Structure 1
Amino acid sequence: MAETSQPLLIKRYASRRLYNTETSDYVTLEDIAAFIRDGREVQIVDLKSGDDLTRQYLLQIIAEHESRGESVLPVDVLTDLVRSYTSQSMSVVPQFLAQSFEMLRESQSKMMENMGPMGALSQMPGVEAMQAQQQAFLKAMTGGVMGTTEQSEASVTETGKKGDEKDLDEIKAELAKLQNKLAKMRK
């Protein structure tokens, strides 16, 4: 999917069906989640009233993932969020959450820079395997919410594939090689 500066406009019809205005077809919540994981901004509006429903649908996507056992948010955090709606801290919580996620994005970016072709860690044997594992870990932990960094998009393996597109078997094989090298270094 091409990156654009404009959010992808999704229109909700009276029948509650969601319509992708770029591709002229209907989409599901999973499709919308995939757009977001791919780094695309999405805006969902009610066709009749023009109301912005984006927040409502994003919360629904999160709720569906949580209900399927894909828990990212600890119960304590969810409890605190519920409490924040009934307290004076409500005005502080959105800024705190936004800053926390921004810090996470920045540290992810810095970590990728250090592991990139020009970073200090790039000289270590097995760094490609570590990069692939780190990208897979970050993607799994954030569910793609954080998007991709420029560094991870620019990081291409020797086969021409992006590191996070490697097959799981290749990553396991590289991990095994790295573990063997580490075991030999300890001896």
Structure 2
Amino acid sequence: MAKSEGTPLLIKRYASRRLYNTETSDYVTLDDISGFIRAGRDVQIVDLKSGDDLTRQYLLQIIAEHESRGDNVLPTNVLTDLVRSYTEGAQTMVPDFLAASFDMLRDGQSKVMETMSNPMTTLPGFDQIKAQQEAFMKTMMGGWAAGSAPEQDENSEETKSDDKSELDTIRKQLAEMQAALQKMTK
């Protein structure tokens, strides 16, 4: 949908208060603009005649309409604090705080989505399994260069003994993890 990631979608407001999408050459509603924003697109709304930027005004109107329909995202105490921030001289600090808060919220949502896209990461002991897999692969592939045989070590008998005991430990831990996973699925 986005024409360019860095360029906001330009919406022009005509004297009749109709909103015109300059990319698709058609009229749009506030719900359409809200949809563009939810889809990740930035918008800029300007008055055709004066060239004034009306984006803030329309974004606030979209929020007010959602709140009046019962889509309450902003609790009353937050709205009250916002009103107070206009009168108490906190205007300089509140925008930065809100921007930082929403950045943290977006980062948190991204991490949740990553976790949901890979449900294995939420399993208890996943990090241990991952470490065991890495140790196993290191043991199995130790010393192998791409397309060549493993290097011979001076202490090859000692290395084989260490590798065998590490491999036995990994096998035992893997069996324990499989048993624990089977119990969780029952």
Instruction: Name the TM tier (shorter chain).
Output: 0.5 to 0.7
Q: Deviations over 1:8-56 (max 9, x none)?
A: 0000001110000001000000000000011100000000110000000
User: Which structure has the larger Rg?
Assistant: 2
Q: Deviations over 1:31-89 (max 9, x none)?
A: 00000011100000000110000000000000001111111100000000000001121
1:2 aligns with 2:29: no
Q: Secondary structure at the match of 1:6?
A: coil
In structure 1, the partner of 2:30 is 29
Q: Secondary structure at the match of 1:85?
A: helix
Matches within 5 A, 1:12-161: 12-117=13-118, 120-121=121-122
Name stretches of at least 5 consecutive residues in structure 2 with no aligned partner: 126-182
The answer to whether the Cα contact below 8 Å between 1:3 and 1:40 also exists between their aligned partners in 2 is no
Q: Deviations over 1:146-167 (max 9, x none)?
A: xxxxxxxxxxxxxxxxxxxxxx
Distance in 1 separating the partners of 2:29 and 2:114? 35
Distance in 2 separating the partners of 1:9 and 1:81? 29
Q: CA deviation at 1:186?
A: 9.5
Name stretches of at least 5 consecutive residues in structure 1 with no aligned partner: 125-183
Q: Secondary structure at the match of 1:73?
A: coil
Question: Which protein has greater RCO, CA pairs closer than 8 Å, 6+ apart?
Answer: 1
State the 4+ residue runs in structure 1 displaced beyond 6 angstroms: none
The answer to whether the Cα contact below 8 Å between 1:11 and 1:19 also exists between their aligned partners in 2 is yes
Distance in 2 separating the partners of 1:19 and 1:52? 14
Supply the AA of the counterpart residue of 1:2: A
- CA root-mean-square deviation: 2.4
Distance in 2 separating the partners of 1:65 and 1:120? 36
Supply the AA of the counterpart residue of 2:68: S
